[in-house]
Structure 1
Amino acid sequence: MNYVELDSYSRKWIFTHASMPVEATDLEQIKPFTQARSAQIWREHISSQSPDADHFEKDDWAHDQKIWSEAIDWQHAWDSDDIDLPPEVMEFINWEDNTTVFFCYEKYNVIETKWGVFKRNWKNFLFFDDGPILIGRKKSQALWFQSNGTFKCAKRS
């Protein structure tokens, strides 16, 4: 089995929090991977060496600071009553809503969902903002969220 039931997921509360509950139809599409499958996704798409974004090695694609954009604020949009992602995200990513995405918190904590689900519920995903990276299956664009309320965009090879 590749997934953990959402009810058993250690961070389930970020999707069921009373202040920002996620619709039931979206909850069904938020699929945390098991630790083993998370590690495999992380190794294949993020890093074969580093356990999290704070420890990228020189051989990791994300370590190359030249590929990343300047830092862009996401905190202001997160704090607002508006549910939309910052416009810079939407200018950089034009994926179909049914595109499979991986929200990678760290090596043993990766969630699979659809781009449309992420767009509607991005604030929930960012309750934990300690360096997660969002990538799309078979897509080159990546977003790297920082705990200082900014994110960077990159095209990965």
Structure 2
Amino acid sequence: MSYISINEYSRKWIFTHQSMPVPEADLELIKPMSQARAAQLWKEQVSATSPDAARFSSQDWPMKDSNWSESISWMSEWESDEIDLPEALTQHIDWQDDVTIYFCYEKYNVLETKWAVFKKHWKNFLFYDDGPILIGKKRDQALWFQEDGTVKLGKRR
């Protein structure tokens, strides 16, 4: 089994929190991966050796400065009443709304959804900002969210 129910997901509350509840129709499009599937995707797409962003090795693509073009702040938009994803992110990621994305918190915690769902509910995903990486299926662009309220814009190479 590749996915678990959102109801079984340990961080389900970030999508059902009373301050920012995700509508049921969109909630159904957020698919937490099983631990085995998450670990496989993490190993193939993010890091073969490191379990989370805090322990990336110099061999992991996220640690190579040449993969990142710039770093911008996202925290002020997250804390504001503005609901849209920061413009610099939508300029960097010019994907169609139906592109499958993977929001990777760590080796055993990966969410799959569509770009449109992430754009609409990005604040929910970032309740946990401990180094998650956003990648797209068969896409080079990547976002790496930092605990200091910045995000690195780059490409996987």
For 1:14, give the aligned amino acid. Answer: I
Cα deviation, residue 6, structure 1: 0.4
Cα deviation, residue 56, structure 1: 1.0
The 3-state SS of whatever aligns with 2:104 is strand
The 3-state SS of whatever aligns with 2:70 is coil
1:82 aligns with 82
2:42 aligns with 42
2:5 aligns with 5
Cα deviation, residue 70, structure 1: 3.0
- Could you tell me which runs of 5 or more consecutive residues in structure 1 were left unpaired when the two chains were aligned: none
What is the Cα-based RMSD across aligned positions, in Å?
Answer: 0.7
In structure 2, C-alpha distance between the alignment counterparts of 1:96 and 1:77, rounded to whole Å: 23
Q: 2:155 matched to 1:155?
A: yes
1:95 aligns with 95
1:23 aligns with 23
In structure 1, C-alpha distance between the alignment counterparts of 2:67 and 2:20, rounded to whole Å: 33
2:55 aligns with 55
After superposition, the C-alpha distances for 1:62-99 in whole angstroms (9 at most, x for unaligned) are 11022213320000110111111111101101101000
In structure 2, C-alpha distance between the alignment counterparts of 1:129 and 1:62, rounded to whole Å: 16
1:64 aligns with 64
Cα deviation, residue 58, structure 1: 1.9
The 3-state SS of whatever aligns with 1:26 is helix
Q: TM-score, normalised by structure 2?
A: 0.98
Paired residues, number: 157
The 3-state SS of whatever aligns with 1:111 is strand
- Could you tell me which runs of 5 or more consecutive residues in structure 2 were left unpaired when the two chains were aligned: none
In structure 1, C-alpha distance between the alignment counterparts of 2:84 and 2:97, rounded to whole Å: 14
After superposition, the C-alpha distances for 1:99-156 in whole angstroms (9 at most, x for unaligned) are 0000000000000000000000000000000000000000000000011111001111
